[in-house]
């Protein structure tokens, strides 16, 4: 729930955020995992 609320607080659609993050998570490099946090996220879905 905190990820959803954090995404909303950063002005993101929570569904788009979770969909993108869950899609990217299996292939994300461990050193770049912070890129998926709501405050650092860049939407790769366009």
pLDDT of res. 33: 92
| Single pTM value for the model | 0.79
DSSP symbol at 18? H
The reported pLDDT for the residue numbered 45 is 63
List pLDDT tens digits, range 2-44: 888 998 999 999 999 999 999 999 999 999 999 998 888 887 6
Asked if residues 7 and 17 have their Cβ atoms less than 8 Å apart, the reply is yes
Q: Is the pLDDT of residue 46 over 70?
A: no
Best CA proximity match to 28, nearest among 10, 12, 40, 14: 40
């Amino acid at each position: 729930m905190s990820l959803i609320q954090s995404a909303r607080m950063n002005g993101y659609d929570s569904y788009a955020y979770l969909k993108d993050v869950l899609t990217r998570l299996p292939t994300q490099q461990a050193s770049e995992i912070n890129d998926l946090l709501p405050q650092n996220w860049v939407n790769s879905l366009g």
